[in-house]
Amino acid sequence: MRSIYLGFEGKIIKKGAEAELYLIDFLGIPAILKKRIPKPYRAKELDAHIRRMRTSHEVTMMFHARVCGVPVPAIYDVDPDEGVIIMEYIPGPTLKEMTLKDYEVSSIFKLVGFYVGKMHLNNIVHGDLTTANIIVPEPEKPFFVDFGLAERTGELEAIGTDVHLMLRALESTHYSKVKELFNAFLRGYREIMGGKVENVLKKVQEIRRRGRYVEERRAKIH
């Protein structure tokens, strides 16, 4: 499948429920074009407003993360009215792929924790913090992508949810290495967050207890 937008022809590399990603040639360099998909079940004006606001918000969150020193793709162009972002192409495997292929990734997880700590200390929550949303183009340099659910907040609940998402991602796809890799993540995270880590981990445990309670309730109902 191919798409043409703003004169740039590209090849689709990912299709999700909310957006499509295309690898394009942007003024002679490879780039990613992310286009939010219109939702026909929404009123046209409302849909346009939502896609415009989410596109602008995602770019803003990526900018804030970059200012904090977190590796994210550079933004080349934005068209909020069309729900389009053109950004730097980061070649390389995802952290999920590397872990599944048994690469030595403990040091990368420590770096991931370090950068997540930078985000949290500056009131940035990624919102979808999984190993699938971290690309590693070269050793010791993880890039964070997909800030569509990110937000500016210092609330402990949101920060704890971010860390919990990473833990759940490890449990669901890297269960044999959960302890090793999550501890590496926490070592890097603690370098930035210091004593605040204990409160975050307490919140993570609270979130986990809530999840188990809901699962038990569902099991009883069914």
Name residue 5's beta-bridge partners: 8
Distance of CA 163 to the CA centre of its chain: 12
Do the Cβ atoms of 75 and 62 come closer than 8 Å?
yes
Query: How many CB atoms are located within 10 Å of the residue 133 CB?
Result: 21
Phi and psi angles of residue 68, each rounded to the nearest 5 degrees, phi first: -75, -5
| Distance separating alpha carbons of residues 71 and 198, to the nearest angstrom | 26
Identify the burial level of 37 via C-beta atoms within 10 angstroms of its C-beta, where 0-12 means exposed, 13-18 middle and 19 or more buried: middle
DSSP 25: E
Which one of the listed residues 77, 79, 128, 162 is annotated catalytic?
A: 128
DSSP 94: B
Distance of CA 106 to the CA centre of its chain: 19
Do the Cβ atoms of 85 and 33 come closer than 8 Å?
yes
Residue 128 designated active-site: yes
Name the residues annotated as catalytic: 128
